[in-house]
Amino acid sequence: MAEDKKKMAIAVMSGDMDKLFGAFIIATSAAASNMDVTMFFTFWGLRAIKKNERTGKSLMGKMMGIMEGGDINKADPSKYSMGGMGRWMFKKMMGAKKVATLPELRQMALDLGVKFYGCQMSMDVMEIPREKLIDEVEDCVGGGFFVEKALEAEVQFFI
């Protein structure tokens, strides 16, 4: 049964609220449609799988940890960011319509068997160690791993 499942591979580079919605909605829809889904979070996308904890070791790493602080709840929309106003506005509008929140969608993805991977190289650059990522992350890997998953998959996305 498991072998004949179709596969999807998603590289998530963006940490924008709207793009993360897109990524998690596609991932959960695919998993619900009986696909094996791999999500590879790289660079800004790491926000989606970060814990809400301070990161950074060096001075610049710490600065980045402050500027890019917070977890998935702190994701700003790619438009109308306005120093957090846009995030607040979208949360209000989405809440009024009862759209699932990003943390809810992420949990749903996990419940449906979607596998999360962190990009080791971006984690090194941004000084985000494994323990600062949520426990559910399978592993921290690199480009070769993602390319292998993408090759095996019928559908690939880069978001």
Return residues touching other proteins (CB under 8 A).
25, 28-29, 32-35, 97-100, 108, 112
**Dihedral sign from CA coordinates of 111, 19, 25, 156:** negative
Provide CB contacts within 8 A for 4, sequence distance 6+: none
Closest to other proteins by CB, 108 or 147:
108
| DSSP reduced 3-state for 98 | coil
Shortest Cβ distance from residue 2 to other proteins (Å)?
A: 14
Shortest Cβ distance from residue 96 to other proteins (Å)?
A: 11
Closest to other proteins by CB, 22 or 86:
22
Shortest Cβ distance from residue 37 to other proteins (Å)?
A: 12
E strand or H helix at 150: helix 143-152
Closest to other proteins by CB, 99 or 121:
99
Of 121, 103, 16, 119, which is closest to residue 68 (Cα–Cα)?
16
